[in-house]
Structure 1
């Protein structure tokens, strides 16, 4: 396995780092976006805003920002890792063709070089696909939580108006 990592070239390092960062964000967001954790914490801050509708809206906006934390970097990782993989393949192919030119062309060398060059593309896609799936999941989860928070904030406003 380690041989495949080294065979993929220097672009495997940013792909590895991207996968580690993506995994850390995914685990953190899975923990932080649990409804049993996110909703009570957000409602506590919204209730603390008091009775003024503008203060409640501001507190709600801050909570939405907190819920969306790290989603942008996760989306960026999902977007760039296939590109890093493709770049690794292009760099590998250039290297293969340069070696073939120097070695007067050997079909087995070409096939082996292409195989190694494609390793970065496979790695990039292997990182990007689950990262993109989780990014979309978290966006939907945040949207669902925001709908709940808006409904609860409206209840708070209605209670304050009736009091």
Structure 2
């Protein structure tokens, strides 16, 4: 491993940095972008049931999950009308989506630039090779010729080794964000439609202590 780093020359340093950064981003996004953490199934139906019983604890809902925070933002404006609920849900959902897309841009940038860094190493290596060849005793300087060719090959291979998994995970995370967004929209629409047809009094429990959603409601 060290021999490959040395053979690749100084251009292996930014490639190694990109590799470490991409690894950290991938691990962090794998942990963060879990659908059951962001938009657990059944939460929309549970919220509708709690609204019908007048037992919605907004602080519990906000701390439940990012989707819970989105639904809580809409419920806080439930008495202002259907359109206000949709607007607040959209604003809150936009913030959640922005958070889900965090670090995806740097990961995509790594996937794009590492092959170029590898290509730069190839060019630098070939320049060294041709410089040796055109020199007076170029034929006899096999060590320098081998070093230039080695740098050209190693940096190209290293750049592709970093870029390929970075690109794969970038596309994977984009798809996961889209799937979670669709799940959030489905459950948010379920709550919106329920509120549009609900004719009862909407009571909220705003107590911070005892976050059980079934606690006694206290209208606001």
TM-score exceeds 0.5 = yes
Q: Deviations over 1:37-58 (max 9, x none)?
A: 1214221111121231100110
Question: Pairwise mapping of residues 32-71 of structure 1 onto structure 2 (< 5 A)?
Answer: 32-40=32-40, 41-49=65-73, 50=75, 51=78, 52-71=85-104
1:90, distance to aligned residue in structure 2 (A): 0.6
Match of 1:153 in 2: 188
- Give every structure 1 segment of 4 or more consecutive aligned residues whose post-TM-superposition deviation is greater than 6 Å: none
Higher-Rg member (1/2)? 2
- C-alpha separation in 2, matches of 1:112 and 1:12: 14
For structure 1, the residue ranges without an aligned partner over 5 or more in a row are none
User: SS of 1:10's equivalent?
Assistant: helix
- C-alpha separation in 2, matches of 1:4 and 1:101: 27
Match of 2:9 in 1: 9
Count of residues in correspondence between the two structures: 163
Match of 1:132 in 2: 167
1:63, distance to aligned residue in structure 2 (A): 0.9
Whether the aligned pair in 2 keeps the contact of 1:42 and 1:149 (CA below 8 Å) is no
- C-alpha separation in 2, matches of 1:151 and 1:4: 51
* TM-score, normalising length: structure 2: 0.70
- C-alpha separation in 2, matches of 1:88 and 1:62: 41
* TM-score, normalising length: structure 1: 0.93
1:68, distance to aligned residue in structure 2 (A): 0.9
- C-alpha separation in 1, matches of 2:136 and 2:105: 46
